Structure 1
Amino acid sequence: MRGIYEQLQVAGDRTYELSGLPFRSSWFGIYYLLSKSERALSVSEITEAISYTRITVKNVVRELKSEGLVEIHKNPSDSRSKLISLTSKGRDHLPQLEELWNVFDQQLEELFQQKDFLNSLKRVNERLQGESFDKKVLREYFNFSIRPARNEEFSQIGALMVEVYSALKGFPKPAEQPAYYDLLRNVGKLTENETIELLIAVSEQGKIGGAVVFFKDMKDYGSGGTATGELHSSGFRLLAVDPNLRGLGIGKMLTAECIQKARDNQSRQVIIHTTKAMKTAWNMYENMGFKRSGDLDFMQGKLPVFGFRLLLQ
């Protein structure tokens, strides 16, 4: 039980961090109690309500106060104690926290739905060893969808692409291939061609989780090698996912959207390229049915680039 508790607490902290909330799992009990109270509460009242030790309550209150989420007042009826309440900042965070807690509740209910308690704990532990709990919560909470990028989002997407590609181990850095990074930084300009789309994965909260460029016609693809000569074909390039949001299926969603657009375009195939520095993407493409096509390979400076095809017809 202790191991499960620690895994869930770590997963909770990661979820709060990636959601952009200055919150920790260990604060929940006290913060939640204060949020439901119509008046300030003393340390004794908090310990009685949630069975925390006084030292635990004092430590958590100290941490919450340092984040500006609670404030401490004098107790007019007892000079030996203090009263604690949420600040306006603390209450401002409440709607977003409650939205996230609802998702936590759904995932925990699914996780602990077994009737046999001891066997249930074993199964819970096994499931936690698989896909992390925070990934499940974040996927449900963010609920990413795919749409074309807007002009005002272009600079943010370009910055994300530069961040992702420059961090790849074994991939050329900006100083080595400045023209390529200029392309990434100004990726929105590609949409001046009406056959090219910049697609993004965006959350219900407006967070951009990733992006990709879809080419309706390979003549506009802009790569080296022979790919631009492929007829009746579509392709996509420059797939990038926010490093903090990897593992949520964003790359797969963007890829699936490009495949569907190619089908809608009645293309015979989808063509892509990747490198050995992008092993995660490489594996994903193969799992989605793409096959290696050595005739599409080329060199980008000193970097080998490998071609793939997905036949649609």
Structure 2
Amino acid sequence: MADVVVRPAREDEWAAAGAITVEAYAVDRYIDGHSGGYADQLADTRARARQAELLVAVDVADTLLGTVTIALPGTPYAEVSRSGEVEFRMLAVSPGARGRGVGEALVRAVIARAREVGARRVVLSSAETMTTAHRLYRRLGFQRFPERDWNPVPGVQLIAYAFSLELA
């Protein structure tokens, strides 16, 4: 993880960050294809960067390795967060960069950002099938938060996790 730096995405990186997100979700079969529906939302980093915080993970050569979106409660990208919480969404690691600690570095950056803004908890919701991500969340201290589970559309169940900054 020493060769991974997480920082705010620059405008000239937005398209590449969107492409990484779409590619990661498509490779893992969380979306069908690279365009249409949710793929278009994943690709729209311009909106995410303007309405939330878009972070990227890069290596020493400044190559994009992954990305995550941080949303505060009441903002357009917030889905399950409430007052005093920070939410993250659309965590994605380029398939070629997996196994290097990129996902962990991104989640740790979210936790650090939540501390900076004085949040008491970090929350997220994730598809039941995203088991690799769930293992990462549990390893970092996230706990299941079933009272925030929800269905964005019929047939899609999202499960929630929370990390308490008060206990960390």
Q: Is the 8 A contact 1:201 1:254 kept in 2?
A: yes
Q: Is the 8 A contact 2:78 2:87 kept in 1?
A: no
Give the deviation of 1:223 after TM superposition: 5.5
> What is the letter of the counterpart of residue 43 of structure 2?
R
Asked if 1:191 corresponds to 2:49, the answer is: yes
CA–CA separation in structure 2 for the residues paired with 1:152 and 1:289: 34
Q: What does the per-residue CA deviation read over 1:87-108, in whole Å, with 9 as the maximum and x for residues that have no partner?
A: xxxxxxxxxxxxxxxxxxxxxx
In the other structure, the counterpart of 1:309 is: 162
Runs of 4+ in 1 over 4 A off after TM superposition: none
SS of match in other structure, 2:158: strand
CA–CA separation in structure 1 for the residues paired with 2:46 and 2:4: 21
SS of match in other structure, 1:263: helix
> What is the letter of the counterpart of residue 277 of structure 1?
T
In the other structure, the counterpart of 1:210 is: 66
Asked if 1:163 corresponds to 2:16, the answer is: no
Match among 143, 150, 173 for residue 32 of structure 2: 173
Q: TM-score w.r.t. structure 1 length?
A: 0.50
In the other structure, the counterpart of 1:219 is: 74
What are the residue-to-residue correspondences of 1:140-289 with 2, within 5 Å? 143-169=3-29, 171-174=30-33, 178-193=36-51, 196-215=52-71, 217-220=72-75, 222=77, 227-228=80-81, 230-289=82-141
Give the deviation of 1:178 after TM superposition: 3.0
CA–CA separation in structure 2 for the residues paired with 1:189 and 1:144: 25
- Cα 1:167–1:223, aligned 2, differ >3 Å: closer, same or farther? farther
Q: Structure 2 stretches of 5 or more lacking a match? A: none
| Higher strand residue share | 2
Same amino acid, percent of matched pairs: 27
Give the total of aligned pairs. 165
Give the deviation of 1:290 after TM superposition: 0.7
Q: TM-score w.r.t. structure 2 length?
A: 0.90
| Higher helix residue share | 1
CA–CA separation in structure 2 for the residues paired with 1:205 and 1:168: 26
In the other structure, the counterpart of 1:115 is: none
Choose 1 or 2 for highest CA Rg. 1
Higher relative contact order (CA 8 A, sep 6+): 2
CA RMSD of aligned residues (A): 1.9
Q: Structure 1 stretches of 5 or more lacking a match? A: 1-138
Q: Is the 8 A contact 1:188 1:198 kept in 2?
A: no
Q: Is the 8 A contact 2:9 2:55 kept in 1?
A: yes
What are the residue-to-residue correspondences of 1:17-96 with 2, within 5 Å? none
Q: Is the 8 A contact 2:114 2:122 kept in 1?
A: yes
